[in-house]
Amino acid sequence: MSALYRTVWRWHFYAGLFVMPMVLVLATTGMTYLFKPQVERWEERAFQDLPSAGAVTPDAQVSAALAATPGAKLHSYRLPEFEGDAALVHVALPGSGQAMRDVFVSPQGKVLGSFDPKARIMEVVQRIHGQLLIGRQGSWIVELAASWAIVMLITGVALWWPRGRGLAGVLWPRMGKGGRAFLRDLHAVTGFWAAGLAMVLLLTGLPWADVWGSAFKAVRAEMGWVKGKQDWTIGGRAPDAGSEHADHDHAAMTHSSSMAAMSGHDHGMMHVPLGAIVARAKGEHLPFPVLVSPPDAKTMVWTVKSDTQNRPQRVSIGYDAMSGREINRDTFADKHPIDRVVGYGVAWHEGALLGWVNQLIGVLTGLALITLSVSGFLMWRRRKPTGTIGAPPFPEERPIGWGVKLTGAALFLLLPMFALSVLALLALDRLVLPRTPRLAAWLGA
């Protein structure tokens, strides 16, 4: 058991040392993103609590937004959350490829201001959280760190396992102990209480990851588990060219099929005006934000969609542009069970599933992860010898039981980025370290 303990300790040490900086970044940005509705409400404070007298139609509001941005094309109209709020008209700028603008128009049809969607606070936070602001390569780094964080949690729980000790130092830290003993208790106890919640966050984030998400999508397609459109991104991109406004990445909407609807706010191609569709949308009482997208020449369908972060409450309704008749209604219950499971996970991950309770649990989990990283770093610095990385000593024997083998095999199969990194480490261990004894000694190999 001593040899096995040392082996697990070494894996935990290297995993923790690698993911420590990333955990700090992901926990901080993740806690911030939990409050997206509140932050965006504050960000739009100048466009709220406006007088409602003399209100114009949604068509007039869109016309004002397009007049203020010559050459722009309508992408969607967001219904005001409360009476007296400005409408948000989302437009694509002319000749700009993917450049978009959020134009805010008062109830009286006056343009009050606009935002670059990519520069909004929560958009920047989510791009740091998912891609480190460097695109697809950043998604690979985040996925690699998340994979090793799962290893860190599993090995950490194995090290925490009481093995006959009392509850002090297991369920709560021994306050009378000082120095290294208190840090060890703080690290172990925090890890025990947070491990389950942290594991849920890591696992529910994998469908967004580039490698894992792409593999998951391929498996779903092969097994016939696809029903309707996937509404989460993969590696910061829409899962396919036909997907609609994808969450967690505003840029993905420029790749969606609704871009075909930007042929202009043209009343000649439809009988039912925007105002009539907005009135229908208000009557549905869908969760905010509610977006109305114009029809394109192919489908001739107005689309009303609740884009709420709470995925189980999402609804998408299609209205015929010529008659106004409802022709389709897609709800969360219509999705494949696999998509519903992922949807619940995504809603939990973003702090939207259970309202403020979900946000509070997310904050506590993030703070626990930060505590683990800081306490782990301090323990490492206190015990690190000069001239080496301070890895736990190699066990003289390395027994590997069936439990360890099965756990390792499962991680290898289910976490492709972890598997690739282990192969790279094996190559380093067999090809490089024997030829560089000083590096091997520093790494504790």
- Structural domains in the chain plus CATH codes: 2-33+126-206+356-443 (no CATH), 39-115 (3.10.450)
Give pLDDT, residue 259: 36
Q: What is the pLDDT of residue 370?
A: 97
pLDDT in tens, 246-287: 444 443 333 333 333 344 445 455 689 999 999 999 999 999
State mean pLDDT over 136-156.
94
Quote the mean pLDDT of the chain.
88
Confidence label for 52 from pLDDT (cuts 50, 70 and 90): very high
pLDDT at site 269: 57
Give the pLDDT confidence score for residue 251 in this predicted structure.
38
Instruction: Kindly report whether the global pTM for this prediction surpasses the value 0.75.
Output: yes
- The percent of residues in the chain predicted with pLDDT above 70, rounded, is 90
Tens-place pLDDT, residues 80-106: 999 999 999 999 998 756 799 999 999
| Long-range contacts of the stretch 103-108 (C-beta < 8 A, 24+) | 103/65, 103/68, 103/69, 104/44, 104/47, 105/61, 105/62, 105/64, 105/65, 106/47, 106/50, 107/50, 107/51, 107/52, 107/54, 107/55, 107/56, 107/80, 108/51, 108/54, 108/55, 108/56
Q: What is the mean pLDDT of residues 416-432?
A: 93
- Extract the tokens encoding 64: 């004002």
Q: Cβ-count burial of 215 within 10 angstroms (0-12 exposed, 13-18 middle, 19+ buried)?
A: middle
pLDDT value of position 4: 79
Residues 322-347, mean pLDDT to the nearest whole number: 94
For 317, 324, 336, 423, the CA distances from 331, given in Å and listed in that order, are 9, 20, 11, 43
pLDDT at residue 169, as a whole number: 65
Report the SS3 class of residue 115. Answer: strand
Across the range 211-230, mean pLDDT stands at: 89
